[in-house]
Structure 1
Amino acid sequence: MADEEAVPGAEGPLVTVTFQRTPHKKQKYLESQPKALGVAQIALSVFYISSVIVMFTNSMSMLVEDLTHVIGSMFVIIAGSLAIAAQNLHLPTLKACLGMQVVACVASVINLIVSVSDMAGHRHGYSCWKYVEINSTDHNDSCYSITDSTAHYFAELVLIHTALIAISVTLAAYCCKVVNCCSPGQRMPVITLQVPPAQQ
């Protein structure tokens, strides 16, 4: 048999395009600063629980409402802990973090609604009484001062829940980028060129 000449391009195509998974996709989660956001979630929830306990011990709220606040805040604390734990970029931990951030967001929305209704109910439900028999200018001033301060207190709780919702949504979005729950995984194109051997 005669020797065959090598025909350029006979071994395969000159250009091949393949798609590979992005190698550092999990690093996207670390861009969200999960440790800082998780600590913020935990700190705000602990502050909120302590505030609810103070309100309950001073007989300024009802047990049923306080129980929903505490349970919702416990979910947020668990979500914050998982956000910190997910820094190891272990996929099951990231999935658990995503699920708990969604639960924490729902719990924070419920707590926000209850806090807004408490604030509105407090504004319309409590008023300062004036007694005709007693010259109570000092009592009226004290009463209005307390009413105003509790309105500010409820507004602060509403602000805390708004911040917790924003943190939960942010962490859930970054978890979703890594877990690919909303879109197919990103693939990076790899172009390979095969140079034909030089003819001599």
Structure 2
Amino acid sequence: MADEASFVEEGVPPSQAPLVSVSFQRSVNRKQKYLEAEPRALGITQIGLSLFQIISSVVFLSNGLNTAQTDLTIIVASVLVVIAGTLTVAAQNLQLPMLRACLGMQIVAVGASVTNMIISLVKMNEIPYFCWHYYYDVNSTTYGDICHNIEGTISHFCSEFVLIHVALVTISITVAAYCCKVVNCCSPAPKMPVITVQAPPTQQ
């Protein structure tokens, strides 16, 4: 039986073809691996967490609780993550250009989320600029208590933001890994062995 196994050769008549032939072909269902990552759920999670980050930053910025420079950086980086989440959902059509765009934006989203995480860690221990006057003034107990409460609230929000960014980094890395499997940016497409068994010719 082992002697009969051979590779498919073109131009061989069916009567002389081996009973068992082995060929190597690319998997036609290779793109389906992207759907194993549940891209709709991950993309919607990215969009939702990023929108929460944007809304919170806008609220803090509009009330003067944070500096404009850091909040604008967080908002711009979060918008990039929203775009990455949108492409994650859109790439379910399994078109190769869309999958490549999704891979590129997920790499950008990792950098954006790490940047936001660093900013949130720095802001966690910051004292609001309008509280410096009351922070060490023992005579301004009322305003001092208000400033302490505001500082504690901002610190808790920043701690929450750090956890959100850790989740966003994890999601981006996961989606990027599945995109890499489909677009084969790191290695050539794997080939699967296909075994063809032919019925022996009927003897008359």
TM bucket normalised to smaller? 0.7 to 0.9
Is 1:15 the counterpart of 2:13? The answer is no
Q: Alignment length, in residue pairs?
A: 189
Q: Which has the larger radius of gyration?
A: 1
- Change beyond 3 A, Cα 1:70–1:130: closer
Supply the distance in 2 between the matched residues of 1:182 and 1:162 (Cα, whole angstroms).
25
Residue 62 of structure 1 corresponds to: 67
Supply the distance in 2 between the matched residues of 1:76 and 1:63 (Cα, whole angstroms).
20
- Change beyond 3 A, Cα 1:176–1:122: farther
Supply the distance in 1 between the matched residues of 2:41 and 2:64 (Cα, whole angstroms).
35
- 1:121 is paired with a residue whose SS is coil
Residue 35 of structure 1 corresponds to: 40
- 1:197 is paired with a residue whose SS is coil
Structure 2 length as normaliser, TM-score? 0.81
- Change beyond 3 A, Cα 1:185–1:155: same
**CA displacement at 1:49 relative to structure 2:** 0.8
**Identical counterparts, % of pairs:** 51
In structure 1, stretches of 5+ residues that fail to align are 1-8
1:1-200 map, 5 Å: 11-122=16-127, 129-132=135-138, 134=139, 136=141, 141-197=145-201, 199=203
- 1:85 is paired with a residue whose SS is helix
Deviations 1:54-108 (A, max 9, x none): 1212222222222221111111111111111111111111111111111111111
Amino acid in structure 2 at the alignment position of 1:117: V
In structure 2, stretches of 5+ residues that fail to align are 1-13
**CA displacement at 1:192 relative to structure 2:** 2.2
Supply the distance in 1 between the matched residues of 2:198 and 2:140 (Cα, whole angstroms).
99
Structure with higher RCO (Cα < 8 A, 6+ apart) = 1
Indicate the RMSD between aligned Cα atoms, in angstroms: 2.6
Structure 1 length as normaliser, TM-score? 0.82
- Change beyond 3 A, Cα 1:121–1:81: same
CA contact (8 A) 1:122 1:151 kept: no
Deviations 1:133-164 (A, max 9, x none): x483x655544333222211110111111111
- Mean alpha-carbon deviation: is it higher for 46-55 or for 10-19? 10-19
- Change beyond 3 A, Cα 1:53–1:15: same
**CA displacement at 1:129 relative to structure 2:** 2.8
